[in-house]
Structure 1
């Protein structure tokens, strides 16, 4: 199965919690139907990305990265790569690479939420499929070259440092824990 086919299956099975998520699900599926290259950065009409919020429920905290290009606190994530066999694998790969934390596991049940956001040219949109990854006990982070900083934040601190998309991802993650 190709990554494109996996994405279609994941999105068809995704059960958003509200009308906005249902509309995004439809928009993502329409995008993939219209763009065979819609999984790749080279698709200038926009492309799917995969991300994961690294969470430590035992300590009530999440690990965020200060993104080098955007200078914003975000969850780990990014572009799919040819070696990715699934959206979930892409999200887990990105979370592991950017956090430096080995042994992450995705929360079961598929994506937590969808988030579509504009990005600078030459591309126009990131259609992000967002998962949550559980940190193993005693997890120690290691900053990657994609980050300016990596930091654990208590749940209640996230709204003070991150944008609404990260806050929404955290809220929906906590709802399924």
Structure 2
């Protein structure tokens, strides 16, 4: 199965956020390259909110370009065969943590946001991942900082999209 086919399957199986989910599916119907960064009309991205093993904190990265505290995530790459794989790869690359496991039952949230030209939109498919008990994080080249935040601290440092992702993740835990 191709990444494109997996994205369509994942989105069709995702029961929440029907209007937004349908917008993602329409985008993919209209753009056969809609999972790739080169698609200037917008493209699918995959991210994961990393939760500590005690389920009390989340790991956020201070994004180098955006200067914002965000979950780990980014563009799909040619070697990715599924959105889940892309989200796990990105989470591992940006956190340095090996052994992350996604929460079951697929994505926890969708978040579409505008991005600077030449592209128009990121259609982010958001997962949540549990860190193993022996997790040791390491700052990547894409980050200025990497830090664990208690659930009640997230709204003080992150934007509404991360706060919504945390709420959806906590409902799934």
Normalising TM by the smaller chain, what interval? Answer: over 0.9
| Residue 6 (structure 1) aligns with | 6
Specify the SS of the correspondent of 2:113.
Answer: strand
- Kindly state the Cα deviation for residue 15 of structure 1 after the two structures are TM-superposed: 1.4
- Kindly state the Cα deviation for residue 92 of structure 1 after the two structures are TM-superposed: 0.3
Post-superposition, which runs of at least 4 consecutive aligned residues in structure 1 deviate over 3 A? none
Gapped runs of 5+ residues in structure 1? none
Specify the SS of the correspondent of 2:27.
Answer: helix
Using the alignment, how far apart are the partners of 2:55 and 2:161 within structure 1? Answer: 22
- 1:85 and 1:147, CA in 2 relative to 1: closer, same or farther beyond 3 A? same
| Residue 60 (structure 1) aligns with | 56
User: How large is the RMSD of aligned CA atoms in angstroms?
Assistant: 0.7
- Kindly state the Cα deviation for residue 59 of structure 1 after the two structures are TM-superposed: 5.3
| Residue 101 (structure 1) aligns with | 97
- Kindly state the Cα deviation for residue 140 of structure 1 after the two structures are TM-superposed: 1.0
Specify the SS of the correspondent of 2:123.
Answer: strand
Gapped runs of 5+ residues in structure 2? none
The question of 1:76 aligning with 2:78 is answered no
The question of 1:32 aligning with 2:16 is answered no
Using the alignment, how far apart are the partners of 2:69 and 2:120 within structure 1? Answer: 21
Using the alignment, how far apart are the partners of 2:142 and 2:61 within structure 1? Answer: 9
Specify the SS of the correspondent of 1:116.
Answer: strand
Using the alignment, how far apart are the partners of 1:48 and 1:74 within structure 2? Answer: 17
Question: How many residue pairs were aligned?
Answer: 173
- Kindly state the Cα deviation for residue 138 of structure 1 after the two structures are TM-superposed: 2.6
| Residue 42 (structure 1) aligns with | 38
- Kindly state the Cα deviation for residue 89 of structure 1 after the two structures are TM-superposed: 0.2
- Kindly state the Cα deviation for residue 22 of structure 1 after the two structures are TM-superposed: 1.1
Using the alignment, how far apart are the partners of 2:34 and 2:144 within structure 1? Answer: 29
| Residue 150 (structure 2) aligns with | 154
Tell me the TM-score normalised to structure 2 length.
0.99
Tell me the TM-score normalised to structure 1 length.
0.96
